[in-house]
Amino acid sequence: MRGVILAAGPGEELKPLTETIPKPMIRIMDKPLIQFAIDRLLFSGIKEICIVINKDDSSIKRYIDMADIPAEITYRVQEDAGIEGAIKAVSDLFTEEDQFILTHSDIVSNNKLVTRTLNAADNSGAEMAVAVALQSEIQDFGQVTLDSNGFVDQVIPTNEIQSSHYVVAGTFLLTGKIFNYLSQGFAFNECFNRFIADGGQVAGGIWNETWIDVGRPWDILRATTYVLSKLEASHISSKAKVGPNVEIIGPVVIAEGAEVLNGTILKGPVYIGKNAFIGNNSLIRDHSAIYEDAKIGMGVEVRSSIIMNTASIARLSYVGASIVGEHATMHSGSITINTNTPPSPISTVVQGMEVVVPLDKYGAVIGPHAHIGVHSSLRPGTVIDKEVIIQPHQMVSGWVAE
């Protein structure tokens, strides 16, 4: 059986982080999102994989070429818009009777998600299957109703919210018949309804474990917390430098070339990437990830945050529940504030729309190559666009445009 990974999405809701990184190459610790999709397929024994990419994206191919992936990997370029266009891009690979697994590249979950979907079809005798999960944010996903035998009754579009809390979990067992419905102009979700109306059966593979669709910046934080929570023991490279007075509490990963200076506390689970630098007397804690070549100055606290490649956090700064993009700099004494006073829901801006963040604590998203001036403060939900320069001693909120 062949697997198909959809990896051509623009990641508009993840901007400004995706201004310089394609969405499938956003990393969760040491792996890009595309690798999570590949791992799910490999776990189920699928060794032929086709990745649907954007015509302007060469980074995925570069990554695959450098990675040691035990599979035959081919590519198709998405020409038409939407998920329908992405699926049509692989239509030449399958006959009407061929089965294949389709999975999105922006899902983080246990590797058994694909296996559960396959088993749902095998156990029921259905030709197709849809992975479904319980999800509170039902407005973001297509919904599914199931009958008493576990077959899909109906797939409901995202704009028609109903009482069912089962949502499409981004993984499908399909047959080539799906292309017949797509060619008639039906939306992807509606294809299942047409297939069922024509006498076909679609099994619901119920997924009761954690499943994260990385669609918005806070989902990157959630996915990082999920992956780090799986750490059971520390992994410290023999090529890392850890000062004699560094205190390590709980599981941590310190990659080769990383340097952690004296007096620092690492309160795991925490990830320190290759060649990262942590200065004296800093505190890195509570599901934080410091990526490759990032630099953390003296006396900095990083809590529940992601510091991306080559970003810098200067001395005596505080980063809480935030994401600092590639090559961005927070200068001395700058802070991100991650709760409202008095306590209230945190709002942010996504694609020009104000939305409520489904987290109790949420700081800022700082775009690539941005600079936050000394002793500046970012209010909860602040988004700093790429290359923006915030002058010293500022209190900033909302979306600050390039």
- Supply φ then ψ for residue 213, to 5 degrees: -90, 115
Q: Does residue 137 carry a pLDDT above 80?
A: no
pLDDT (0 to 100) of residue 57 = 78
pLDDT (0 to 100) of residue 142 = 76
Kindly report, residue by residue over 346-395, the tens digit of the pLDDT.
Answer: 999 999 999 999 999 999 999 999 999 999 999 999 999 999 999 999 99
CA dihedral 36, 41, 45, 47 (to 10 degrees): -100
- Neighbouring-strand partners of residue 236: 254
- What are the structural domain ranges in the chain? 2-214, 218-400
| Contact (Cβ atoms closer than 8 angstroms) between residue 249 and residue 267 | yes
Q: Does residue 163 carry a pLDDT above 70?
A: no
| Contact (Cβ atoms closer than 8 angstroms) between residue 379 and residue 373 | no
Q: Is the peptide bond before 269 cis (omega within 30 degrees of 0)?
A: yes
pLDDT (0 to 100) of residue 133 = 87
Label residue 159 by pLDDT band (50, 70, 90).
low
Cα–chain center distance at 41: 17
Label residue 36 by pLDDT band (50, 70, 90).
very high
- Supply φ then ψ for residue 285, to 5 degrees: -155, 165
Top-level class of domain 218-400: mainly beta
Instruction: Estimate the crossing angle of helix 112-124 against helix 33-43, to 10 degrees.
Output: 40
CA atoms within 13 A on the CB side of 346: 25
Going 349 to 17 to 287 to 230, the CA torsion angle's sign is positive
* CA–CA dist 193, 210 (Å, integer): 27
Residue 13 per-residue DSSP state = G
- 30-44, 116-130, 152-166, 239-253: segment of lowest average pLDDT: 152-166
Q: Does residue 214 carry a pLDDT above 80?
A: yes
pLDDT (0 to 100) of residue 156 = 82
- 146-150, 198-202, 351-355, 367-371: segment of lowest average pLDDT: 146-150
Residue 157 per-residue DSSP state = P
Question: Could you give the percent of the chain with pLDDT greater than 70?
Answer: 96
pLDDT (0 to 100) of residue 161 = 58
Tokens 């409901």, located at residue: 156
**Residue 123 in tokens:** 């156990």
pLDDT (0 to 100) of residue 136 = 56
Label residue 344 by pLDDT band (50, 70, 90).
very high
pLDDT (0 to 100) of residue 302 = 98
pTM: 0.94
CATH value of 2-214 in 1.10.540.10, 3.90.550.10, 3.40.50.300, 3.30.365.10: 3.90.550.10
Residue 14 per-residue DSSP state = G
**Residue 160 in tokens:** 């028609």
167 or 160, greater pLDDT: 167
Q: Is the peptide bond before 244 cis (omega within 30 degrees of 0)?
A: no
pLDDT (0 to 100) of residue 80 = 85
* CA–CA dist 100, 317 (Å, integer): 50
- 155-169, 206-220, 239-253: segment of lowest average pLDDT: 155-169
User: Rounded mean pLDDT of 155-163?
Assistant: 66
Percent helix, strand, coil in the chain, to 5, is 20, 35, 45
User: Rounded mean pLDDT of 80-107?
Assistant: 91
pLDDT (0 to 100) of residue 56 = 77
**Residue 395 in tokens:** 């209190």
pLDDT (0 to 100) of residue 150 = 84
- How does strand 295-296 pair with strand 312-313? parallel
Q: Does residue 83 carry a pLDDT above 60?
A: yes
Residue 151 per-residue DSSP state = B
pLDDT (0 to 100) of residue 167 = 86
- 7-11, 178-182, 333-337, 373-377: segment of lowest average pLDDT: 7-11
